[in-house]
Amino acid sequence: MVTKAAFIYIAPENDPRVHRAVIDSPVIQLTVVGVVNYAEAERIALELVSEGVTAFELCAGFGNDGVARIAKCVGEKAVVGVVRFDLHPAFGHKSGDSIF
The CATH number of residue 85's host domain is 3.40.50.10330
Provide the pLDDT for residue 92: 84
Residue type, 80: V
Domain coverage including residue 65: 3-91
Provide the pLDDT for residue 24: 96
Cα–Cα distance measured from residue 41 to residue 73, given in angstroms and rounded to the nearest whole number? 10
Provide the pLDDT for residue 75: 98
Do the domain assignments include residue 35?
Answer: yes
What is the number of structural domains in the chain?
A: 1
The bridge status of strand 28-35 relative to strand 20-24 is: antiparallel
* 37-73 pLDDT per residue, tens: 999 999 999 999 999 999 999 998 898 999 999 999 9
Do the domain assignments include residue 79?
Answer: yes
pTM, full prediction: 0.87
Do the domain assignments include residue 98?
Answer: no
Do the domain assignments include residue 49?
Answer: yes
Nearest 5°: CA angle at 41, between 39 and 46?
100
42 and 17 in contact (C-beta within 8 Å)?
no
Do the domain assignments include residue 53?
Answer: yes
